[in-house]
Amino acid sequence: MSQQAIVKVQGLTKVFGQLKAVDGVSFEVEEGEIFGFLGPNGAGKTTTINMLTTLLRASGGTATIDGLDIHKHPNEVRRTVGVVPQEYTADEDLTGIQNIILCADLYGLPRSNSKPHAVELLKLVGLEDAAERKVSTYSGGMRRRLELASGLINYPKLLFLDEPTLGLDVQTRTAVWDYIRMLKVEYKMTLFLTTHYLEEADSLCDRIAIIDHGHIVKIGTPGELKASIGGDVIVVGVAETGPDISADIKSIPLVKDVKKTDHEYRIKSEVGEESSIQIIDLVRSRGLHVTKISLTKPTLDEAYLELTGRSIRDEETNKMDMFKQRVTMMRARR
Amino acid sequence: MTEDLSRSTVTTQEQVIDEEKRREAERTFRAAPQLSKSPLHGLWALTNRDLVKWYKNPIQLVISLVQPVVWLGLFGSAFNLGNFVPKTEFEATFGATNYISYLGAGMLAFIILFTAAFSGMSVVWDRRFGFMNKALSTPVGRGSIVVGKIMQSTIRSLIQAAIVLVIAVVLSMDTTHFGVLTVGGSFVMLFLMSFGLSSLFVMLALRSSDWQTQMAIINLLNLPLLFASNAMLPVAIMPGWLQSVVRYNPVSYAVDGVRQMLLGSASITNYSVLAPLWVDFGVLVVFAALLSILGIILSWRLLTK
Ligand SMILES: Nc1ncnc2c1ncn2[C@@H]1O[C@H](COP(=O)(O)OP(=O)(O)O)[C@@H](O)[C@H]1O
Ligand SMILES: [Mg+2]
């Protein structure tokens, strides 16, 4: 890929006892993009982030971040990246601003800088009025935004976000998406996020890696992933049983597949809008009467189903994950 | 509480990002400063975090003082053991003029032991509530995370010990031997004991995110460390096997040293004394140094999985 890759991962692996939680994943993240890891619970998303942010030692493989090897220069990697973990990490007994300044101290930011910077970040995420309140009084959305602000305290080039909207209501979720987009557009930051929400990956990410059982199944833009399932589906209803014109329809450019039932043709096309007009013309020219027509764009949901063989909602989780997730969600709802 | 809730809902809903705010933030944001590369950066911040949480919640302090004060009041003042034994014999065995003075020194060790024991618990909570992972994702020294925990526990326990000492004096502890050197020296010994014990308990908690296990460890170690020592009763009146156990217990050396300094035990009789003062001191220095170094080494290995 390009020279601009800020994250380069080769065969990264993590084994927990018998379980290969991450099994030789390789990918690159381009500078300035929003790159998403999409997969169900237990797919290995958090484990991958933990290895890249040096919280976990990899069992195998290599990775560099901004040219720094995660094994050889862990401290430099920590200085370069920001992390917004899956669970809430703020100290509930401290105020919002105390939490951020504490983080700044842990990064070794000079106090002369960290105080104004903390105030600015709290403003950025709209928490300036709550800055002096204990975090235990925050709502879930506020906590998430506080985590976002503390992830930015060290001026990271690259920000890791692990399930940034887990358990948030729809409204708060869209707000978090806005902040994430702003970081990309305004600050030219590179973002690496994980999610098991298809809508989130679809609307937010420039490129998505679908990960399942520790393997990357496919990497591409949301459009590419959707296209990979074979394109748009056009259903044309005809009034009476006439001659079978499947073969003719199939010869229309961009059409990939045609199936005929009694009164319907189900047609897969790479670009549904273009093909549908030609299809109607063709059907009419054969003297058939068109009773209905529908065009369905493939969703990421379908792409996911096709690539992994199951829907993302059939979640398999172990007890600890469930527990952690419930705690996070309970705290998010407060 | 209700007010907080309504306010947070409001903030959640007005999610519009103010253009002006954004520009303002951007200006500071571009001016990224140099990050400190000192190996000790963040150490005081971590220590101070726990201290702030502690003094903002004085109930915790009061609860921790209840037990030593009850011991002092009940066994020291009310049932003064000295009343049951002839005075010369009491002084010879206990190396103190009355039991509350004897017990006072023991209670200083008691409060330090119990505070140190819970230093590991705070590591467990930090793991449980995610703060540990946050700290680990920053470049702060892994050793600083451990030493910060040890330091906050040591500072807290010394403050608590000072309060216990004042209470003991109020309850008529013998102050004839008190002076800058003896009180200062006692606190140096207590510092060493606290540093060593906190290192021990923090170390035992490094890998754990399970508070039940941690509670079990505390119970397993705390009472033996307290009762198999000279904190409550003199070594001389213990059975032989217990005497040899007491000699391997670092707590005994701290208590012994403190008594020699605060009560002048050595000048009353040699009988009550466990070891010469310099031996007490040496044992504690070695104990504190060994365990804290071990703690730092283990933190490098255990904090990253
Ligand atoms: N510390 C651990 N010890 C043992 N197994 C673990 C550990 N952490 C994660 N796992 C397992 O590794 C797999 C991947 O987990 P994770 O990376 O958290 O998934 P995700 O973030 O995609 O939901 C899961 O099966 C999980 O149970
Ligand atoms: Mg996860």
Indicate if the pLDDT at residue B148 is higher than 60.
yes
The tokens for A260 are 């005929």
- Do residue B305 and residue A175 have CB atoms under 8 angstroms apart? no
A39 and A196 Cβ atoms separated by less than 8 Å: yes
Q: What distance in Å separates the CA atoms of residue A308 and residue A267, rounded to the nearest whole number? A: 23
Same fold across A5-226 and A230-297: no
Chain B residues within 8 A of A333 when measuring between CB atoms: none
Which candidate from A78, A88, A141 shows the least CB-CB separation from B130?
A: A88
Burial (0-12, 13-18, 19+ Cβ within 10 Å), B183: middle
What SS3 state is found at A249?
helix
* Residue B267 binned pLDDT confidence (cut-offs 50, 70, 90): low
A334 — pLDDT class (breaks 50, 70, 90) = low
Collect all residues with Cβ–Cβ distance below 8 Å to A282 and sequence separation of at least 6. A245, A248, A249, A252
Verify whether the Cβ–Cβ distance A139 to B8 is below 8 Å.
yes
Closest ligand to residue A317's CA: 1
Contact status, residue A12 vs residue A62, Cβ threshold 8 Å: yes
Query: Is this complex's ipTM strictly greater than 0.85?
Result: no
Residue B170 contacts A, CB cutoff 8 Å: no
Residues in chain B: 305
Measured between beta carbons, which residues in chain B are less than 8 angstroms from residue A137? Answer: 1, 4, 8
Residue B13: the pLDDT is 40
Average pLDDT, chain A: 87
**What is the number of the ligand closest to the CA of A163?**
2
* Positive or negative: CA dihedral A101, A107, A108, A110: negative
B29-77 pLDDT tens trace: 556 778 888 888 999 999 999 999 999 888 988 988 888 888 888 877 7
Choice among B135-149, B237-251, B258-272, B279-293 with the minimum mean pLDDT:
B258-272
Alpha helices in A19-95 (DSSP H): 45-52, 74-80
Where do we find the tokens 């008529």? B172
Nearest CA to ligand 1 atom 7: A16
Give the pLDDT of residue A332. 61
Contact across the interface for A116 and B28, Cβ inside 8 Å: yes
Integer angstrom CA distances of residue A226 from A222, A274, A296: 6, 17, 12
Q: What percent of chain A has pLDDT over 70?
A: 91
Tokens (6 digits) for A99: 């939490």
Chain A to chain B Cβ contacts (< 8 Å): 150
DSSP per position, B16-29: ---HHHHHHHHHHH
> Is domain A5-226 classified as CATH 3.40.50.720?
no
Right CATH number for A230-297 from 3.40.50.300, 3.40.640.10, 3.30.70.100, 3.90.470.20?
Answer: 3.30.70.100
Are B203 and B150 a contacting pair, CB within 8 Å? no
Please identify among residues 79-108 of chain A the ones whose CB lies closer than 8 Å to any CB of chain B. 79, 83, 85, 87-94, 98, 102-103, 105-108
DSSP A87-121: S--S-TTSBHHHHHHHHHHHHT--HHHHHHHHHHH
Burial of B181 (0-12, 13-18, 19+ CB in 10 A): exposed
- CA dist A193 and A201 (Å) reads 9
> Position B125: which residue type?
W
Cβ proximity of B23 and A60 under 8 Å? no
**C-alpha span between A242 and A202 (Å, rounded):** 41
pLDDT digits (tens, 9 = 90+) for A87-136: 899 999 999 999 999 999 999 999 888 999 999 899 988 899 999 999 99
Question: How far, in Å, CA of A141 to CA of B28, rounded?
Answer: 25
Mean pLDDT confidence for A296-301: 79
Distance of alpha carbon A171 from alpha carbon A279, whole angstroms:
41
pTM, whole model, 2 decimals? 0.82
Measure the CA–CA gap between B202 and B124, rounded to whole angstroms.
9
Specify whether the CB–CB gap between A241 and A291 falls below 8 A.
Answer: no
Q: Does B29 touch chain A (CB under 8 A)?
A: yes
Per-residue pLDDT, A226 = 81
Closest-CA residue of A relative to B27 is A120
Q: Return the biggest CA–CA distance within chain A.
A: 82
Contact between chains at B130 and A155 (C-beta distance less than 8 A)? no
pLDDT at residue number B289: 96
Which residue's CA lies nearest to atom 24 of ligand 1? A42
Rounded to an integer, the average pLDDT of A148-158 is 93
Using alpha carbons, select from A154, A75, A99, A50 the residue that is nearest to residue B131.
Answer: A99
Sheet holding A290-296: strands in order across? A255-260, A264-269, A232-238, A290-296
CA distance B152 to chain A (A): 15
Shortest Cα distance, chain A CAs vs residue B128, angstroms: 9
Contact A142, A131 (CB under 8 A): no
Does B45 sit within 8 Å of A106, measured CB to CB?
A: yes
How would residue B203 be classed by pLDDT, with cut points 50, 70 and 90? very high
At B302, phi and psi to the nearest 5?
-95, -25
- Tell me how far the alpha carbon of residue B31 is from its chain's centroid: 42
User: What residue spans define the domains of chain B?
Assistant: 38-302
Structure tokens at B66: 């209840």
Any residues with CB less than 8 A from the CB of A106 and at least 6 apart, and which?
B41, B42, B45, B46, B134, B135, B138, B139, B140
DSSP string, A155-206: --SEEEEESTTTT--HHHHHHHHHHHHHHHHHH--EEEEEES-HHHHHHH-S
Nearby residues of B156 by Cβ (< 8 Å), 6 or more positions away: B50, B51, B54, B115
Q: State whether residue A175 sits within 8 Å of chain B by CB.
A: yes
* Cα angle value B248/B298/B207 (rounded, 5°): 100
Which pLDDT value is given to residue A62?
Answer: 96
Predicted confidence band at B305 (pLDDT cuts at 50, 70, 90)?
low
Q: What's the gap in Å between A86 CA and the centre of ligand 2?
A: 6
Which of A244-253, B160-169, B200-209: highest mean pLDDT? B160-169
Residue A158's DSSP bridge partners are A81, A190
Query: What is the H or E stretch that residue B258 is in?
Result: helix B250-262
Residue A37, SS3? strand
Which residues of chain A neighbour B152 with C-beta distances below 8 Å?
A: none
Q: Where are the domains of chain A?
A: 5-226, 230-297
Of A164, A159, A160, nearest to A141 by C-alpha is A164
For residue B11, list chain A residues with Cβ-Cβ distance below 8 A: 126-127, 129-130, 139, 141-142
State the Cα angle at A153 between A149 and A157, rounded to 5°: 105
